[in-house]
Amino acid sequence: MFKALLGAAVVLMIAALSKTKNYYIAGLVPLFPTFALIAHYIVGKGRSIDNLKTTIVFGMWSIIPYFVYLATLYVMVDRMRLEASLAVAAVAWLMAATVLVSVWVRLHA
């Protein structure tokens, strides 16, 4: 129930910010590290500090798929409908994330 309320609060915050003169801040709200905090706490409590540090470094590299998503969306919104642009950008994120995980596993096996 708490997660659903938290999600609803974030959506309402994004909707409210998107109607202000600083509408672009709505793009920052979903990047608050809610799930990263949870993941880092769980890994930090259940595993070694080295494992936590590895998780943190992987998180730093995970910015790349998000950048790929944003760059793809930026290019596609001029060429396609919004819904199609979002879908293409999500697929680009998935492809970049797959490459990231594959390379990570090879380098850290």
- Tens-digit pLDDT profile for residues 9-66: 889 999 999 999 999 999 998 888 888 999 999 999 999 999 999 999 999 999 999 9
Determine the Cα–Cα distance for residues 61 and 101; give it in Å rounded to an integer.
Answer: 10
Q: What tokens appear for 65 in the block?
A: 């798929």
Q: Structurally, how many domains does the chain consist of?
A: 1
CA 39 to chain centre: 14
Determine the Cα–Cα distance for residues 18 and 30; give it in Å rounded to an integer.
Answer: 13
What is the value of pTM for the model shown? 0.84
Q: Is 47 left (phi over 0), alpha (psi -120 to 50) or beta?
A: beta
The answer to whether residue 10 is domain-embedded is no
The answer to whether residue 25 is domain-embedded is no
The pLDDT tens digits for 71-96 are 999 999 999 999 999 999 999 999 99
Domain encompassing residue 86: 49-109
